Amino acid sequence: MLNEGVVLEVNSKESIVISPDKGIVIIKRTEDMSVGKLIFFSDDQIYIVKSRLVKILSFGSAAAAIVLIAFLLFFRTSYQDQIYAYIDIDINQSIELAINKDNKVLSVEAINEDANALAKELDIEKKSLDKAIINIIEESISDGYISTQKSDILFSAALAKKSEESGRSGEMEKILSICKDTALKTTNDKAEVKTLYSTYEIKELANTASTTIGRYYIYNELSASGSDVSLESIKSMPVKDLFKHIDKILIEQQVNASIPSNHHTTSKVGVTSQKATPSSPTPSVTYTKGPTPTVFINTHATVTKSTAITNTNTSTNTNAKVSKPTIEPKSSVKNTGSWKLKVGENANASQSFTDKKVNITINNKGSNPWDVAFTHPIDTLEIGARYRVSFKVNALKNTKIYAKIGDSADPFNEYWNNNYAPFNIDANSPIIISQEFTPTKKTDYEEIAFHMGGSLAETVPNTISIDDVIITKLSGSDTKTILNYNFEN
């Protein structure tokens, strides 16, 4: 952990610093030190920590210390208020960045010994997050910690306590998207990148354990599932091995998608609950592997590789907003029980069933995304309750699919829609989507809908397969499965 302090005296090789946590200390002087300056320093920079050092100071310095310590305590509170989020980076070296709401770096901290030299080399305070990441990766390549041909990078993050309490978790996806995109660009898409975010509670426990948010999250999840893995082994584990654990966690989350498993995890060191509330997001993981940029989906989201494939890349266009009616007035409707394939007048599509999944074959995509839509009515959702939606999707050719839960009639409100972003489906690369959401409005005409027409359909003819559509109520007046359909019959 970094300590805060104010410089009292500057000598040729050393500086005397006063700190609320360490008292008065002597540390090695750096060129940028000057009397009265607020600095951050690690324990290994301290030469001496003794209260008798006050005797060394001049009377003026000693008197000034009282004023300075009061100033420092005030500034400390002000500084903590500036921190919006913490970004931990594991590239075998482990380092933490504290950033403000403008994504500017406020401080840099080495979390493990390997990162001490790197932290001292970096000059990234006040720089933008993307430039800081570029600097970190370039220095790591220069120091030989990662290769220009192959590298594994884990970004893990948590909101600062006040940010989390203010319900700002929706911004985490943007922050980690910057991390992911910058890492891929800096490594020429040769890095394998995973991004993960958790709660401030996990961040505090990670601090206590002297490890990163990501490593502690993995340890916590494995412990909750009954694994006897030790925290020390996770702390020293190569990043590529951490990725294997993350993949297992993602698959387990999907297998248990109909059970609110993330709501009762227990850690060996005292995490008794991780409740999915607006101020305390369910820990989330996303998977990224170059060269294809990978989707970063919204808060409480998980994208996981299907166990039936060896390579799954997914992406999303966050600028695509297709919040429109599911169906235009002049359309044909083909029923499959309560499921309906809705086809606009300028489109042509049909459905079939093989291998316990529904296959939507699009011959003419129409003009609008909703010209080909596969929908199912659902019970009215409870305002303020927490829900999870998950499904599997695949396609014979590259395409996009826009999934949403909301009104099936005017005014067409949407309660969940991946932030208005369709999912990119690569040919023959099935993906599993699992996300959580909280309805804020009520209607009598609610449905889950998959839009596949218009600009979403890149090439036709094409066949899109959908399976294992599950909507589960996780909190509220009760908990239950709203919809669970695998098209077996």
Residues 6+ apart with CB under 8 A from 468: 390, 391, 392, 432, 485, 486
Looking at the fold, whether 33 and 56 belong to one and the same domain comes out as: yes
Looking at the fold, whether 209 and 250 belong to one and the same domain comes out as: yes
Looking at the fold, whether 195 and 126 belong to one and the same domain comes out as: yes
pLDDT in tens, 145-156: 777 778 899 999
**Residue 461 belongs to a domain:** yes
Looking at the fold, whether 356 and 404 belong to one and the same domain comes out as: yes
Nearest-angstrom CA–CA distance, 294 and 292: 6
Q: What is the pLDDT of residue 309?
A: 23
**Residue 316 belongs to a domain:** no
Identify the CATH number of the domain in which residue 339 sits: 2.60.120.260
pLDDT in tens, 361-411: 999 999 889 999 999 998 888 888 888 999 999 999 999 999 999 888 777
- Look up residue 78 and give its two tokens: 């002000």
Which one has a higher pLDDT value, 170 or 39? 39
Q: Which of 119-123, 244-248, 253-257, 347-351 has the lowest average pLDDT? A: 253-257
Looking at the fold, whether 53 and 122 belong to one and the same domain comes out as: no
Looking at the fold, whether 246 and 352 belong to one and the same domain comes out as: no
Query: Domain range for residue 446?
Result: 331-485
Looking at the fold, whether 134 and 202 belong to one and the same domain comes out as: yes
Last residue of a domain, one of 57, 80, 103: 80
Looking at the fold, whether 39 and 150 belong to one and the same domain comes out as: no
**Residue 325 belongs to a domain:** no
Read off the pTM: 0.46
Looking at the fold, whether 44 and 89 belong to one and the same domain comes out as: no
Looking at the fold, whether 40 and 136 belong to one and the same domain comes out as: no
Give the number of domains in the chain. 3
**Helix segments in 187-331, DSSP class H:** 200-208, 213-224, 231-236, 239-255
Residue 327, helix vs strand vs coil? coil
Last residue of a domain, one of 80, 99, 130: 80
Looking at the fold, whether 210 and 74 belong to one and the same domain comes out as: no
Q: What is the pLDDT of residue 67?
A: 54
**Residue 305 belongs to a domain:** no
**Residue 354 belongs to a domain:** yes
**Residue 302 belongs to a domain:** no
Nearest-angstrom CA–CA distance, 184 and 422: 22
